[in-house]
């Protein structure tokens, strides 16, 4: 195991009816900015629950945060923050809303190093974040883990760019699985696949004998494989226990715990981001296209962990090493197909002619040494994308 520091102070409030706890979690004298997306929270009853819980609070609203939240959209929130002296952000939505709220919280207290500084420097120049407005999250779509980590991804000019700071980690998160019952199949499948690949990025690297991290990751993968399809099947999709197990798994997949003390990959995400940036493909659907190709191209470097994955996650014990690895990759692709997400570029109408733009964009983002060994050069990324055709 590698040395590590781990801290996750986010308070989790999990279960049916927990939205009402925000009345106590948010200070009574706070001036709250309620941040949400396109309004689905109004049709599924979540908005009303939030408003009811905030009855004794002073709050304002900022809506319209889109999937892959845009810098220009997020900056518009700064006007109301200044005008109303907002001092608390409450995000209500999925990962994009929570990510966007994190940028809003950091931008509100951003102090640049010069007159020309702007909050975009947080991302473009990785300008240090020394403070942010306090933030809470009510999660409506289990997927990204954003509700209890300090990570955020913001898009500007078609480029998805990450930043991270402990100051934007939500102080609390409400995880009520009942609110996920109104999600579309597409949102559910995207969420399960996203959480699955988050786990893989921190697990399928090389062994440092981190047994707790490995066992926990394998457990999460098994749960997502078991429960994901149930959340799409007519007879089980309304089962609250299925939704609860998916929701808690997605949070645990990216709250920092399983990645502490082990190498991490993230090449599937970085390559996938370019597919979203250039072609607007849902984040999770870029991952299901790229991951199997990464497994195939990086097979030798990941051999030990692929064998462990085959045995412990898929119960594959028959055949020689290469047979077992092939079978594990095939079962991964089959799982993605069951989850109704694409596993090939051709599934989203992209072909070999589209690869070069993605490589160019990776290069312009400096993504020239990806993966746990830093050996996924642009040439290897091209090989991965070609494998994914």
Which residues bind to a copy of itself, rule: CB under 8 A?
Answer: 1-18, 21, 209-212, 215-216, 218-220, 222-223, 226-227, 241, 244-245, 248-249, 252, 260-261
d(CA 321, CA 341): 28
Going 102 to 107 to 109 to 110, the CA torsion angle's sign is positive
Ramachandran assignment for 93, one of left (phi > 0), alpha (psi -120 to 50 degrees), beta (any other): left
Question: Chain centroid to CA 158: how far?
Answer: 18
d(CA 265, CA 275): 18
Q: How far is the CB of 206 from a copy of itself (least distance, A)?
A: 14
Q: How far is the CB of 13 from a copy of itself (least distance, A)?
A: 5
d(CA 141, CA 325): 32
Q: How far is the CB of 12 from a copy of itself (least distance, A)?
A: 5
Q: How far is the CB of 318 from a copy of itself (least distance, A)?
A: 16
Could you list the beta-strand ranges (E) of 114-219.
135-139, 151-156, 159-164, 172-175
- Sheet (strand 135-139) strand order: 58-62, 31-36, 88-93, 135-139, 172-175
Long-range pairs, 111-114, Cβ under 8 A, ≥24: none
Q: How far is the CB of 183 from a copy of itself (least distance, A)?
A: 19
Tell me whether residue 20 or residue 354 sits nearer to a copy of itself (CB atom).
20
Tell me whether residue 7 or residue 85 sits nearer to a copy of itself (CB atom).
7
Q: How far is the CB of 259 from a copy of itself (least distance, A)?
A: 13
Q: How far is the CB of 173 from a copy of itself (least distance, A)?
A: 10
Q: How far is the CB of 6 from a copy of itself (least distance, A)?
A: 5
DSSP secondary structure letters along 59-82: EEEE--PPSS-BHHHHHHHHHHHH
Tell me whether residue 166 or residue 280 sits nearer to a copy of itself (CB atom).
166
Residue 222: how many other CB atoms lie within 10 Å: 15
Tell me whether residue 33 or residue 141 sits nearer to a copy of itself (CB atom).
141
Tell me whether residue 4 or residue 52 sits nearer to a copy of itself (CB atom).
4
Helix (H, G, I), strand (E, B) or coil at 220: helix
Tell me whether residue 227 or residue 372 sits nearer to a copy of itself (CB atom).
227
Tell me whether residue 151 or residue 159 sits nearer to a copy of itself (CB atom).
151
* Radius of gyration of the chain, Cα coordinates, nearest whole angstrom: 21
DSSP secondary structure letters along 82-99: HHHT--EEEEEESHHHHH
Tell me whether residue 15 or residue 158 sits nearer to a copy of itself (CB atom).
15
């Amino acid at each position: 195991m590698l040395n590590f520091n781990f801290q996750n102070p986010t308070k989790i409030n999990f279960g049916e009816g927990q939205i009402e706890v925000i009345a106590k979690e948010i200070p009574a004298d706070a001036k709250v900015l309620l941040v949400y997306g396109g309004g689905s929270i109004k049709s599924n009853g979540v908005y009303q629950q939030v408003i009811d819980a905030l009855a004794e609070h002073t709050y304002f609203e900022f809506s319209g945060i889109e999937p892959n939240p845009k810098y220009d959209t997020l900056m518009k929130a700064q006007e109301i923050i200044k005008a109303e002296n907002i001092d608390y952000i409450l995000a209500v939505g999925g990962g994009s809303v929570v990510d966007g709220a994190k940028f809003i919280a950091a931008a509100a207290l951003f102090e640049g190093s010069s007159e020309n500084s702007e909050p975009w420097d947080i991302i473009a120049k990785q300008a240090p974040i020394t403070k942010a407005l306090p933030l809470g999250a009510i999660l409506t779509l289990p997927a990204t883990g954003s509700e209890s980590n300090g990570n955020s991804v913001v898009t500007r000019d078609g480029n998805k760019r990450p930043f991270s700071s402990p100051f934007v980690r939500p102080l609390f998160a409400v995880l009520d699985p009942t609110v996920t019952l109104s999600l579309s199949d597409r949102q559910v499948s995207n969420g399960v696949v996203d959480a699955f690949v988050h786990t893989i990025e921190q697990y399928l690297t090389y062994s440092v004998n981190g047994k707790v991290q490995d066992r926990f990751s394998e457990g999460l993968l098994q749960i997502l494989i078991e429960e994901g399809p149930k959340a799409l099947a007519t007879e089980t999709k309304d089962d609250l226990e299925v939704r609860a197990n998916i929701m808690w798994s997605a949070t645990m997949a990216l709250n920092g715990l399983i990645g502490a003390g082990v190498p991490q990959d993230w090449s599937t995400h970085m390559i996938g981001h370019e597919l979203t940036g250039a072609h607007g493909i849902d984040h999770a659907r870029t991952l299901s296209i790229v991951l199997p190709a990464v497994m195939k191209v990086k097979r030798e470097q990941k051999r030990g962990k692929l064998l462990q994955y085959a045995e412990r996650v898929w119960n594959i014990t028959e055949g020689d090493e290469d047979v077992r690895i092939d079978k594990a990759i095939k079962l991964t692709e089959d799982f993605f197909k069951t989850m109704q997400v694409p596993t090939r570029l051709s599934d989203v109408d992209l072909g070999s002619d589209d690869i070069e733009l993605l490589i160019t964009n990776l290069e312009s983002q400096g993504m020239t040494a990806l993966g746990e060994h830093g050996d996924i050069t642009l040439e290897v990324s091209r090989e991965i994308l070609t494998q994914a055709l």
